[in-house]
């Protein structure tokens, strides 16, 4: 799978790093990232309003408010911990990254052989015939 299914990552970097594959938001499409940003903005705006009003908030309050913001945006709440632990997800991403790197190494090797063949052909063309 190209780029390990990642939609977004540090494109300024030359290559995908192992760390990149363990960041969940790298697998979000552009519109999903935009939505995530909007949800965070709404949550922070609410937090700022509570702070300015000096309204005491407890962790349970923050959880309820976040759930409300998510639901107001038409999103479904995740009401369970999921089927895959964080550790298992990291392990799987590391395995997939290893496979990806091996494939990349093979492609780089093949490309270097092709480049070498081209260089040899160019040298043969340039050398005077005896």
> Given a cut of 80, is residue 19 above it in pLDDT?
no
Instruction: Quick: pLDDT tens for 54-98.
Output: 999 999 999 999 999 999 988 888 777 777 787 888 888 888 888
Contacts of 71 (CB under 8 A, 6+ apart): 77
> Given a cut of 70, is residue 44 above it in pLDDT?
yes
Predicted pLDDT at 13: 55
CA torsion 79-31-12-2 (nearest 10°) is: 80
| Range with the largest mean pLDDT of 5-9, 33-37, 84-88 | 33-37
Predicted pLDDT at 60: 94
pTM of the model: 0.51
State how far the Cα of 16 lies from the Cα of 1, in Å rounded to an integer: 13
CA torsion 50-51-54-56 (nearest 10°) is: 70
> Given a cut of 60, is residue 118 above it in pLDDT?
yes
Give the pair of three-digit tokens for residue 78.
Answer: 């995740």
State how far the Cα of 7 lies from the Cα of 4, in Å rounded to an integer: 9
Give the burial class of 39: count Cβ atoms within 10 A of its Cβ; 0-12 exposed, 13-18 middle, 19 or more buried: middle
Q: 3-state SS of 83-101?
A: CCCHHHHHHHHHHHHHHHH
For residue 53, what is the DSSP state? Answer: T
| Range with the largest mean pLDDT of 5-9, 31-35, 80-84 | 31-35
> Given a cut of 70, is residue 1 above it in pLDDT?
no
**pLDDT above 90: percentage of residues in the chain:** 32
């Amino acid at each position: 799978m190209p780029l390990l299914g990642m939609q977004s990552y540090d494109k300024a970097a030359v290559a995908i790093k192992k760390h990149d594959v363990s960041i969940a938001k790298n697998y979000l499409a552009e519109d999903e990232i935009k939505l995530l940003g909007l949800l965070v903005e709404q949550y922070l705006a609410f937090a700022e309003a509570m702070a300015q009003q000096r309204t005491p908030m407890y962790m349970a309050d923050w959880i309820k408010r976040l759930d409300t913001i998510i639901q107001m945006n038409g999103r479904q709440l995740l009401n369970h911990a999921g089927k895959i632990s964080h550790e298992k997800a990291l392990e799987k991403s590391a395995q997939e990254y290893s496979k990806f790197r091996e494939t990349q190494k093979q492609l780089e090797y093949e490309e270097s052989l092709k480049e070498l063949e081209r260089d040899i052909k160019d040298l043969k063309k340039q050398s005077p015939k005896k």
